[in-house]
Amino acid sequence: MIRGVIFDLDGVLVSTDEFHYRAWKRMADEEGIPFDRQVNERLRGVSRMDSLGIILERAPRPYSEQEKLALAERKNGYYRDSLQGLSPSDALPGAFETLAELRRRGVKTAIASSSKNASLILERIGLAGKTDAAVDGNDITRSKPHPEVFLLAAERLGLPPAACLVVEDAAAGVEAAHRAAMPALGLGPPDRLPDADHVAACLADVPVEQLLAIRRPSPPSAPG
C-alpha cells in the first residue's frame, strides 16, 4: 500500500527547464562552447556538475577543477537571477490539487530534488512547507540515477521504500526510483520514460486514486 508520495521538483511540480537552458547557453556562449537544445536534453535529471561535464565534452580546451567550479557557479548565478520572476502561477497543472488531496487522505508527501535551489523555487511558487519532508542537492552526495535522494526522502517520511511512490519526469529519476525499490509515475512523453510504471502528461491527468494504485510489476515466475 502506498503511504507516501515523493515528488521530483523540476518538470513535475514546476518547470524551470527554459531557465536552465538559457543559463547554460549563456555560460557556454561566453566560453565559446557549442551548446544547443539537443545537448540540453541530456542534462534532464542530471546534477549541476555532471551537466557541466556533458557540456564540456565539446569544449575547445580542458578546464581545471577550479575553473569547472567557477563555471558552474556562474551558470547558477544566471539561473537564480531568472528564478526571481517565478510565482504560484508557474506551478504545473495538478501540483497544488494533488498535494492537497494526498494530505486530505493522510498520505505523506516529500520533495526529492537534486537541485540545490529547490528551497528558493518552492518558496517562489508557494509550495514551501506544503510537504512533510524535503530533500535537495544540499543533502546528498550522489545524483540520480543513484537512489540516495529517494531513500533519504523515505527515511525523513518515516516510511519503508516499498511504501513510497516516486513522481518523476526524467529517465534517470525513474531508474533511481526503481533502484530504491519504489514504483515510479513518469510525467512526459512515453518514449522518454519507457521504464516508468505509469506515464501521463502531467499530474492533472492522474486522479489521486489512480496514482495510489501504481505498482511495480511482479517479476515473472520461474519455470517449474
Question: Would you please indicate which residues are annotated as catalytic (active-site) residues?
Answer: 8, 10
The CA distances from residue 46 to 32, 115, 145, 146, in Å, are: 22, 9, 8, 11
* Residue for grid cell 580542458: 62
Task: Provide the grid cell at 123.
Answer: 518558496
Question: Are 185 and 200 a contacting pair, CB within 8 Å?
Answer: yes
CA dist 106 and 85 (Å) reads: 33
CA dist 142 and 154 (Å) reads: 16
CA dist 56 and 49 (Å) reads: 10
Would you give the DSSP letter of residue 6?
Answer: E
The CA distances from residue 157 to 15, 77, 90, 151, 160, in Å, are: 25, 32, 27, 10, 9
